[in-house]
Amino acid sequence: MRTQSLRIAIAVLMLIAAGCGLGAPDSFMQMNRQYWESMDIKPAVKYEDAWQRVIYIITKKFELDMISKEDGYVRSAYGQTYFSEDLQNERYQIRIVAKFTPDKKKFEFKIESRVWDGKIWHNGSDIRVAANMRKDFLNSIGDVQVKKQPATPSADSLLVQ
């Protein structure tokens, strides 16, 4: 009986470790495919200026791996997270991939993160990094679209004539 209880306890601990033991922060979301975030570029911001702003924002936090201004594409190298010393971990890496649409009126980016479990990389995204980058891009080049509320009909327009 005691051996069976010990086996159950070990099995439960292994299940807990399998889910939590990757060494990634809580902001890591494991997924097989990352999704692009998209935003309109402010009409007053020309492509040349938008490109410079994007490169500046990205290089504050990442090292560049690939860059093509003509194609409007930039990708950073995988690196350790940039939030704080306690989160820096060789087993947890993040990069950003960003691009402009061909008409240069929209900007898209995705955050790719991965965590090493000792055997394989587990791919995903980091929601905290994505939120911070989204804020930086929106403040610099993003055109925040305010959804207009439908007009409320006036009492006069409801009267039947």
Q: What pLDDT is attached to residue 11?
A: 42
What pLDDT digit, counting tens, does each position of 91-147 carry?
889 999 999 999 999 999 999 999 999 999 999 999 999 999 999 999 999 987 655
- Nearest alpha carbon to residue 53 among 74, 37, 36, 70: 74
Average pLDDT over residues 51-79: 96
Q: 62-66: which pairs have CB atoms within 8 A and are 24 or more residues apart?
A: 62/94, 62/95, 62/96, 65/95
1 or 72, greater pLDDT: 72
Q: What mean pLDDT, rounded, does the chain reach?
A: 81
- 3-state SS, 127-142, equals HHHHHHHHHHHHHHCE
Sign of the CA dihedral running 150, 151, 156, 161: negative
Under CATH, what is the fold of the domain 32-143? Alpha-D-Glucose-1,6-Bisphosphate; Chain A, domain 4 (3.30.530)
pLDDT-derived band at 9 (thresholds 50, 70, 90) equals very low
Say how far apart CA 38 and CA 98 lie, in whole Å: 10
> Would residue 19 be called left, alpha or beta, if left means φ above 0 and alpha means ψ between -120 and 50 degrees?
alpha
Average pLDDT over residues 61-82: 92
pLDDT-derived band at 23 (thresholds 50, 70, 90) equals confident
Say how far apart CA 29 and CA 32 lie, in whole Å: 10
Residue ranges per structural domain of the chain: 32-143
